[in-house]
Chain A
Amino acid sequence: MLALLKRYWTIIRRPSVHFSLGAITVAGFIAGIVFWGGFNTAMELTNTEQFCTGCHEMSENVYVELQSTIHFTNRSGVRAKCSDCHVPHNWTDKIARKMQASKEVWGKIFGTISTREKFVAKRLELAQHEWARLKANDSLECRNCHNYDSMDFTRQSVRAQTMHSKYLGSKEKTCIDCHKGIAHHLPAMPPDMSVFGMSEYPQVAEVGQIRQ
């Protein structure tokens, strides 16, 4: 094994005998384009909605829920697809997220959420991951489209104006603090959980989920 490695190492170290430096440079350049392009194309492929909804876990749970929300159907027809909100747009963050997503491949193979019941049971944990991610990056994926500076408050309802100027304008809160469960349904939450970052008071207790 070591001998084999050594042999390849000497081959790689030895200067080229048959090809000119120019040919090697051009070939390397072309190969670089092919590999880089191929890599990016393959990664972009995993960003498509078709890919995301290719498994029943996504297409039968979260994708169905998305379809009735304003991020899927609205008057102007502009819509968000999965990756718009769930994958960071800039390259390094995207690669980091894609590496994290290899856990999802594991989950798929071992059927972590392969039934509706399993999904419902796991949903709170999954949601909390996304809430934490968006909270940590100041709702970056929201802000890719929703720019605070471009918000025309005069076109917002009075209560939206009030909330946005008071909490978002002061940077006290970020989008996800209030806008949870806007693209998918909310999970079942334990009664003492403070769901929305607005208040430290454990709201769900008072909100009174229906108790059986």
Chain B
Amino acid sequence: MMKISHILAAVLVVLGAALASFVTAQPGVSAPFMDAARGVTPIPDTTRPPLLLNEENNDLRRTRAYSMQPPTIPHKIDNYRVDKNFNQCMFCHARSRAEETQAVPLSVTHYMDREGNILGEVSPRRYFCQQCHVPQTPVKPVVTNTFEDIDSVLQAGRRNAAGK
């Protein structure tokens, strides 16, 4: 008897949550639709795709915004296939290829499984490079970014402390 009431309660909670999300996801019909990426184009219509620009291809390493940030790719990767058979990125970025290609070899984290054991080869969970690493295109960001890196936060803190 206890069990059935538990299940009922759980079902009610789930239903309630679903209903709530449904209500919040539907903006009022009267409110004009506006989205930072889509503009004012209504949902059923197709937006005009933005102009495609060439990815940066100068091979210059960029500053990372924070120490754990996966470095961005400073070159084009058009048609570099990463599939079950072969990983095109590893053609240059494999440990064994560093001398010939002068590409940055993968860090040790790519050889670790989720328990932190070091494996002999790239961990399957790190195989698909573009899950974390992406090339960059010289465009104005659609959404403004207020991220501050740790150095400036610390500096501001120190300045505040000194000011007081």
Contacts and interface: CB of A to CB of B under 8 A. Distances in A.
Interface of A: 68-70, 157-159, 162-163, 178, 181-182, 185-189, 195-196, 198-199, 201, 203-211
Given A158-B59, A163-B101, A207 B86 contact: yes
Given A189-B86, A196-B91, A207-B94, 8 more contacts: A68-B79, A70-B79, A157-B59, A159-B92, A163-B101, A185-B85, A195-B86, A207-B87
Contacts of A189: 85-86
B: contact size bracket = 20 to 34
B81 A186 contact: yes
Contact of B121 (A163, A196, A206): A206
A209 B91 CA distance: 12
Contact of A188 (B85, B92, B102): B85
Interface of B: 57-59, 75-76, 78-79, 81, 83-88, 90-92, 94-97, 100-103, 121-124, 127
B61 to A, nearest CB: 12
B101 A181 contact: no
B136 to A, nearest CB: 15
B85 A198 contact: no
A198 B102 CA distance: 13
B59 A206 contact: no
A185 B76 CA distance: 19
16 contacts: A68-B79, A157-B58, A159-B75, A159-B101, A162-B102, A196-B91, A198-B97, A199-B96, A201-B96, A203-B96, A204-B86, A206-B90, A206-B95, A206-B121, A206-B122, A208-B87
Contacts of B83: 185-186
Given A186-B86, A198-B100, A208 B78 contact: no
A154 to B, nearest CB: 13
Nearest to A167: B100
A76 to B, nearest CB: 15
A187 B94 CA distance: 19
Contacts of B101: 159, 163
Nearest to B95: A206
Contacts of A186: 81, 83, 85-86
A159 B61 CA distance: 13
Nearest to A182: B79
Contacts of A204: 86
Contact of A203 (B81, B94, B102, B123): B94
Contact of B84 (A69, A201, A206, A209): A209
Contacts of A157: 57-59, 75-76
Contacts of A201: 96
A196 B94 CA distance: 13
Contacts of A185: 81, 83, 85
Contacts of B58: 157-158
Contacts of B96: 199, 201, 203, 206
Nearest to B110: A208
Contacts of B78: 70
